[in-house]
Amino acid sequence: MLATLSYILCVAALASFSGATLWLLMRPRARMAALMPAPRWQVLVAAATALWCAALTIFSPGSSEALVAQMVRDGAMLGWLGATFWSPRAPMPRPLRLILRMLATICLLAFLLGAAAHWRAGAAAAPWMKPTLTFTAMIVAIGGLLIIDGAVRRASGGLRMPVLAVAGGFAMLWAYELNVQLIGALTGAKASTLIALLPAVALLTVPIHIVAAMDIGRERMRLSRTAATRSLILLGAAVYLILIALTGAVARAVGSDYAELAQAISLAVALGAGGLMLASARSRAWLAVIISKHFFEHRYDYRAEWMRFTATLAQGAKGDGSDDDRNLYRRVAKALAQLTGSPGALLMLPAASGGFRVAEQWHWPGGVGEEAGLSLRSAFMLQETQHIVDLDAERRGAPGKHPAGVDLAIPDWLIADTRAWVVVPVLHFQRMIAIAVLHRPAVSRALDWEDLDVLRIAGQQAASYLAESQSQQALSEARRFDEFNRRFAFIMHDIKNLASQLSLLARNAERHADKPEFRADMTQTLKISAGRLSDLLVRLSPRERGPAAEPGRTLVEPLLNEVAAEMRPRRALFVGCQAGLSAWAEAGAVRQIVQHLVANAIDASAPDTPVQVVAVAEQGRARIDVIDQGCGMTREFIRDELFKPFVSTKESGFGLGAFEALQLAQGMGGAIEVTSEPGKGSNFTLWLPLADARAAAGGDARVMKAGMK
């Protein structure tokens, strides 16, 4: 079964590399030269690999004939490496050039020797040939890997991605062959399964040649931090297995009694190390620091860290409504701490008494005292210098001294608390809005330039969130003030009307105080005015405001009569109302609208002209008309200025009556319509929902709901 599978793989590899060779030959030379530094050598590599696959198919993987063909393939691969990396764009150091020449010479000699031996005596007559070729293949593989590693590291910045991909394919093939040969040499047994799968590895390199020639992919390709870490873990597991195999081989060579003991000790050490890493946070932190320091170019995976940092600031890492998620200040402390691996953090905010005091903390063990904070002078110096304070450096050197000689006045409690590690100023447009103190991580380390840059940028990002939150709070307060001022402006308008009414009442009292009818009207007017003043005070005080009145069935005729009685000292109104007319509205709002419209009609009319208030049901709505024969208005004024606040034609007017009336009407689902001509008077029409129509609509809805049930 294994032999059949190996044969099928050999045929597939031979067909694939033969097709790739023909395809590369048909590619335009100019296109190939633009993509690859050595296009001819790439064609030779594909052809030599096809020849090697033919030897695998005719003979078998691992045979001496296949090893002879492998020398041809390796020579072509070395030639490609020399043509690619032995150039001004990708200079190869002198030691690597010497190794390349030696390997090329070894491949040539091994091929000539193997071909001559097989030509004269055959494989059976030359038993020494296969071990010699195997040893030679191991030397070439090791040297080729050294060349690829050294050359790619020196020249990867100046080479395109296709070149690096082809070099990676060579490395994969050589590494697999070297692994198979090492296992056979160390264990003394033939790794028949691994040898049989050799054409499968060759098949994996075919797409690399195709993709490289087509220039598919980005200019640069790098593994993510997560993928690289997992690759290192897999590599460590592979190294562990190799060590176990070597230990077993050595133990068997010494004596069988030690083999099981060596394997048991190795297993115990591995399990102990794994358990220590799982149980100890300090061990995991130490391992993370070692990996970041020795295996990665940068300490931070900026993409992953920045996504987590932004997610924590925006809505919290868990997003489950916990205290950490609802409190922005705690989220800022948490985000800065997680960025550097700190287990906790403090956040100081400006205090009313001056300086900064600890306002929030995230996982700070034991908390802090009430005196914890920074003085105004220290905060001012941090703001001026924008200095991120390494407290360990402050403890080792002169306390409170900046490296440039500026006294930062770091408080004694912060120096004495060895848990405190870093002080990060949170600045927004050169203004300090918070100060973060990070807890010492599990594995303490000195800050470097990368830590300082990340903390500085993260502090600015966190400052933007804090500044936005403070702006939202200020805007909310401004809106409350605006609402208060708006209500106050409306009330001032009503107070002006009441003052005018009371002033008119006082003037008439001088002439008609002796008349009983006038005294009765005056008493009634004073009661109405006192009630309206009390209502105005309630509207002005937000603490005394009750729940907003809901619209309901409101009889229109009694409401109009009340307005007429109130306005009688100023002008007798003609009131006409359809019997039983009721609107679906809030009575107080309707009364206020009609009062505004009637007062404006009286002000716009001559003293001897009547003002009419007529209410009827029309088109399924209640219609209330306030008609005067005053000076009238132009269409432009009605369209552009009538309902605009703070615009009035009266010398002492506020320009809010019509605006407030329209707002109240629209709030109840109504509208105000105006018809006017200069010199011919005006007609203000208030449209309101009809109560009977609303009740009928509600009844129909209830019937439909019952039918659906």
Burial of 330 (0-12, 13-18, 19+ CB in 10 A): buried
Instruction: Return the pLDDT at 242.
Output: 60
Q: Looking at the structure, give the CATH architecture of the domain made up of residues 302-475.
A: 2-Layer Sandwich (3.30)
Buried b (16+ CB within 10 A) or exposed e, 335-370: bbbbbbbbbbbbbbbbeeeebbbbbbbbebeeebee
Using DSSP's 3-state secondary structure scheme, residue 12 falls into helix
d(CA 69, CA 48): 8
Indicate the helix (H) or strand (E) that contains 583.
strand 582-585
Dihedrals φ, ψ of 70, to 5°? -65, -30
Q: Considering only 29-38, 565-574, 637-646, which range has the smallest mean pLDDT?
A: 29-38
Give yes or no for a contact between 356 and 374, defined as CB atoms under 8 angstroms apart: yes
Please list the residues that pair with 623 across neighbouring strands.
616, 687
Question: What is the 8-class DSSP label of residue 645?
Answer: T
Instruction: Return the pLDDT at 231.
Output: 63
Instruction: Return the pLDDT at 278.
Output: 61
Q: Which residue has the tokens 């300086």?
A: 355
Two tokens at 291?
A: 């990996």
Residue 296 clears pLDDT 60, i.e. is over it: no
**In degrees, to the nearest 5, what angle opens at C-alpha 207 toward C-alphas 206 and 210?**
95
Please list the residues that pair with 597 across neighbouring strands.
none
Residue 208 clears pLDDT 60, i.e. is over it: yes
CA 531 to chain centre: 57
Beta strands 681-689 and 671-677 are antiparallel
Of 588, 587, 682, the C-alpha closest to 629 is 682
| pLDDT, mean of residues 624-639 | 90
Residue 704 clears pLDDT 60, i.e. is over it: no
Residue 276 clears pLDDT 80, i.e. is over it: no
pLDDT classification of 35: cutoffs 50, 70, 90: very low
Residue 33 clears pLDDT 70, i.e. is over it: no
Residue 642 clears pLDDT 50, i.e. is over it: yes
Which residues does 402 contact at the CB level (< 8 Å), separation at least 6? 381, 385, 387, 408
Give how far Cα 188 sits from Cα of 65, 226, 252, 499, Å. Answer: 21, 38, 11, 115
Give yes or no for a contact between 436 and 460, defined as CB atoms under 8 angstroms apart: no
Beta strands 420-428 and 389-390 are antiparallel
Give yes or no for a contact between 388 and 424, defined as CB atoms under 8 angstroms apart: yes
d(CA 356, CA 351): 5
Please list the residues that pair with 420 across neighbouring strands.
439
Instruction: Return the pLDDT at 387.
Output: 86
d(CA 592, CA 597): 9
Q: Considering only 508-517, 635-644, 694-703, which range has the smallest mean pLDDT?
A: 694-703
| pLDDT, mean of residues 636-661 | 75
Tens digit of pLDDT for each residue in 431-459?
889 999 999 887 777 787 788 888 999 99
d(CA 114, CA 129): 7
Residue 229 clears pLDDT 90, i.e. is over it: no
| pLDDT, mean of residues 627-656 | 79
Between the ranges 82-86, 286-290, 291-295, 333-337, where is the mean pLDDT highest? 333-337
Instruction: Return the pLDDT at 613.
Output: 95
Of the two residues 307 and 703, the one the predictor is more confident about is 307
Q: Which residue has the tokens 């303490």?
A: 444
d(CA 84, CA 90): 7
Residue 345 clears pLDDT 90, i.e. is over it: yes
Pick the CATH number of 551-695 from 2.40.30.10, 3.30.565.10, 2.30.110.10, 3.50.50.100: 3.30.565.10
**Length, in residues, of the chain:** 709
pLDDT classification of 34: cutoffs 50, 70, 90: very low
| pLDDT, mean of residues 604-612 | 88
Instruction: Return the pLDDT at 545.
Output: 43
| pLDDT, mean of residues 173-200 | 76
Residue 316 clears pLDDT 80, i.e. is over it: no
Helix axes 328-340, 302-315, angle to 10 degrees: 160
d(CA 582, CA 598): 20
Residue 596 clears pLDDT 70, i.e. is over it: yes
Give Rg (Cα) of the chain.
Answer: 46
Instruction: Return the pLDDT at 271.
Output: 67
Indicate the helix (H) or strand (E) that contains 361.
strand 356-362
Instruction: Return the pLDDT at 556.
Output: 94
Two tokens at 29?
A: 């030379």
Between the ranges 79-88, 131-140, 237-246, where is the mean pLDDT highest? 131-140
| pLDDT, mean of residues 653-662 | 74
Two tokens at 254?
A: 């010494």
Average pLDDT value over all residues in the chain: 77
Share of the chain above pLDDT 70, in %: 69
d(CA 389, CA 664): 59
Instruction: Return the pLDDT at 657.
Output: 75
Question: What is the 8-class DSSP label of residue 606?
Answer: -
Of the two residues 578 and 306, the one the predictor is more confident about is 578
| pLDDT, mean of residues 124-144 | 79
Tens digit of pLDDT for each residue in 242-257?
666 666 666 666 655 5
Of the two residues 14 and 150, the one the predictor is more confident about is 14
Residue 697 clears pLDDT 70, i.e. is over it: no
Give the alpha-carbon dihedral of 67, 73, 78, 80, to 10 degrees.
Answer: -170
| pLDDT, mean of residues 459-464 | 91
Contacts 24+ apart (CB under 8 A), 359-363: 359/329, 360/327, 360/329, 360/330, 360/332, 360/333, 361/330, 361/333, 362/324, 362/330, 362/333, 362/334, 362/337, 363/334, 363/337, 363/439
Two tokens at 217?
A: 């992919």
Of 494, 595, 614, the C-alpha closest to 556 is 614
Q: How many CB atoms lie within 10 A of CB 471?
A: 10
Instruction: Return the pLDDT at 288.
Output: 61
pLDDT classification of 527: cutoffs 50, 70, 90: confident
Task: Give me the amino acid identity at 138.
Answer: M
| pLDDT, mean of residues 312-331 | 66
Instruction: Return the pLDDT at 481.
Output: 65
- CATH code linked to domain 2-221: 1.20.1070
Domain boundaries, the chain: 2-221, 222-279, 302-475, 551-695
CA 299 to chain centre: 21
Dihedrals φ, ψ of 348, to 5°? -100, 140
